[in-house]
Amino acid sequence: MNMLVTILFMTAIGALIGGFTNHLAIKMLFRPYNPIYIGKWRVPFTPGLIPKRRDELAEQMGRMVVEHLLTPQSIKEKFLQKEFQQDITELVKKELRTFLESDFTIASLLDKAGIKDGASRIDNRIERLIEGVYERAMSRYRGQPIGNVIPQALLEGASKKIPEISSYILGKGADYFSSQEGKLRIQILFDEFFKDKGMLGGMLQMVLGNVSIADRIQPEIIKFFKSDGAHGLISSILRNEWLKLLERDASEIENMVGRDKVVETLKEYAINLAGTQKLLDTPVSELLASYKDTILERMAPNLVVMLGDWLTSRLDVMLEKIHLKELVRAQVATFSLERVEDMVLGITRSELKMITYLGALLGGLIGIFQGIFAILFS
- Which residues on adjacent β-strands are paired with residue 145? 249
* 35 domain-assigned: yes
Residues 239 and 359 in one domain: no
* 296 domain-assigned: no
Indicate the SS3 state at residue 64. Answer: helix
Nearest to 283 by CA among 139, 72, 58, 104: 104
Q: How far apart are CA 123 and CA 113, in angstroms?
A: 19
According to the model, what pLDDT value does residue 56 have? 77
Residues 201 and 268 in one domain: no
Asked if 104 and 287 count as a contact pair (C-beta separation under 8 A), the reply is: no
* Domain end call among 248, 271, 293: 248
3-state helix, strand and coil shares in percent for the chain, rounded to the nearest 5 = 85, 0, 15
Residues 213 and 259 in one domain: no
Residues 278 and 158 in one domain: no
Residues 213 and 170 in one domain: yes
Residues 136 and 260 in one domain: yes
Q: Which of 125-134, 139-148, 151-160 has the highest mean pLDDT?
A: 125-134
Q: Count of domains in the chain?
A: 3
Asked whether the predicted pLDDT for residue 52 surpasses 50, the reply is yes
* 311 domain-assigned: no
* 299 domain-assigned: no
Q: Kindly report the length of the chain.
A: 378
Model confidence band, residue 206 (pLDDT cutoffs 50, 70, 90): low
Residues 234 and 155 in one domain: yes
Q: How far apart are CA 40 and CA 47, in angstroms?
A: 15
Query: Minimum mean pLDDT among 45-49, 75-79, 156-160, 204-208: which range?
Result: 204-208
* Domain end call among 196, 228, 248: 248
Q: How far apart are CA 75 and CA 66, in angstroms?
A: 11
Mean pLDDT of 144-151: 79
Q: How far apart are CA 81 and CA 71, in angstroms?
A: 16
Asked whether the predicted pLDDT for residue 89 surpasses 60, the reply is yes
Residues 8 and 128 in one domain: no
According to the model, what pLDDT value does residue 369 have? 79
pLDDT tens by residue, 315-341: 778 877 777 778 777 777 777 777 777
* 107 domain-assigned: no
Give residues with Cβ within 8 angstroms of 153, minimum separation 6. Answer: none
According to the model, what pLDDT value does residue 209 have? 47
Residues 231 and 173 in one domain: yes
Q: Is 71 exposed, middle or buried (0-12, 13-18, 19+ CB in 10 A)?
A: middle
According to the model, what pLDDT value does residue 207 have? 52
According to the model, what pLDDT value does residue 79 have? 79
Full residue range of the structural domain in which residue 155 is found: 145-248
According to the model, what pLDDT value does residue 195 have? 62
* Domain end call among 205, 233, 248: 248
Model confidence band, residue 212 (pLDDT cutoffs 50, 70, 90): low
Model confidence band, residue 157 (pLDDT cutoffs 50, 70, 90): confident
Query: Minimum mean pLDDT among 220-234, 237-251, 344-358: which range?
Result: 344-358
According to the model, what pLDDT value does residue 7 have? 75
Residues 69 and 189 in one domain: no
Give residues with Cβ within 8 angstroms of 300, minimum separation 6. Answer: 89, 92, 93, 96
Indicate the SS3 state at residue 321. Answer: helix
Residue 49 has a CB neighbour count (10 Å cut-off) of: 14
According to the model, what pLDDT value does residue 34 have? 75
Asked if 371 and 6 count as a contact pair (C-beta separation under 8 A), the reply is: yes
Asked whether the predicted pLDDT for residue 36 surpasses 80, the reply is no
Q: How far apart are CA 371 and CA 349, in angstroms?
A: 33
Write phi, then psi, for 115 (nearest 5 degrees).
-100, 110
Mean pLDDT of 64-78: 76
* 100 domain-assigned: no
Residues 244 and 149 in one domain: yes
Asked whether the predicted pLDDT for residue 35 surpasses 70, the reply is yes
Model confidence band, residue 210 (pLDDT cutoffs 50, 70, 90): very low
Residues 130 and 268 in one domain: yes
Side-chain half-sphere CA neighbours of 197 within 13 A: 12
Residue 58 has a CB neighbour count (10 Å cut-off) of: 19
pLDDT tens by residue, 179-189: 888 888 877 77
According to the model, what pLDDT value does residue 204 have? 55
Asked whether the predicted pLDDT for residue 216 surpasses 80, the reply is no
Mean pLDDT over each residue of the chain, to the nearest integer:
79
Handedness of CA 134, 136, 138, 139 (dihedral sign): positive
